[in-house]
């Protein structure tokens, strides 16, 4: 499938072989929104892809959502994950994900989209 899909909290598309989740400014990602967003991502891919998560202005991610993003279900979608943060809140969320809820795939935090994309392509 091509094009961009929209969940209640993010725009999702594939760009040059990378699955991109671009979260809306001020997004509050609860369990339901996380499940909806992952399902849309799954509909775009046939096999796991490098995944870019643009979360610079996310306001909150529930514990259940973090667990879902790091689950085996997400391994069917994501091969590696680059989290791009910008605000202090998004950095805390990213660090929380890395520290407690890391999935079974390489994950790193970046301040810059280009650096994140370059890492995903290595």
**Which domain CATH number covers 45?**
3.30.750.24
Residue 105 in any domain: the answer is: yes
18 has which bridge partners? 15
Handedness of CA 70, 60, 90, 52 (dihedral sign): positive
Residue 121 in any domain: the answer is: no
Question: What is the number of domains present in the chain?
Answer: 1
Residue 120 in any domain: the answer is: no
Residue 48 in any domain: the answer is: yes
Q: What percent of the chain has a predicted confidence (pLDDT) above 90?
A: 69
- The per-residue pLDDT for range 44-89, each reduced to its tens digit, is 999 999 999 999 999 999 989 988 888 877 888 999 999 999 988 8
Residue-number span of the structural domain to which 65 is assigned: 5-115
Pairing state between β 78-84 and 107-110: parallel
Q: Which residue in this structure is represented by tokens 């202005």?
A: 57
Provide the whole-model pTM: 0.90
């Amino acid at each position: 499938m091509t094009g961009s899909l929209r969940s209640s909290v993010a725009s999702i598309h594939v760009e040059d072989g990378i699955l991109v989740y671009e979260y809306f400014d001020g997004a509050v990602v609860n369990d339901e929104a996380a499940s909806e967003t992952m399902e849309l991502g799954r509909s775009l891919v046939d096999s796991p892809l490098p995944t870019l998560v643009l979360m610079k202005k996310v306001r909150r991610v529930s514990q259940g959502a973090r667990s879902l993003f790091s689950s085996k279900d997400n391994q069917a979608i994501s091969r590696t994950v680059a989290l791009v943060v910008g605000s202090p809140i998004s950095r805390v969320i990213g660090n929380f994900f890395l520290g407690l809820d890391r999935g079974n795939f390489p994950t790193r935090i970046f301040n810059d989209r280009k650096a994140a994309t370059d890492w995903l392509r290595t």
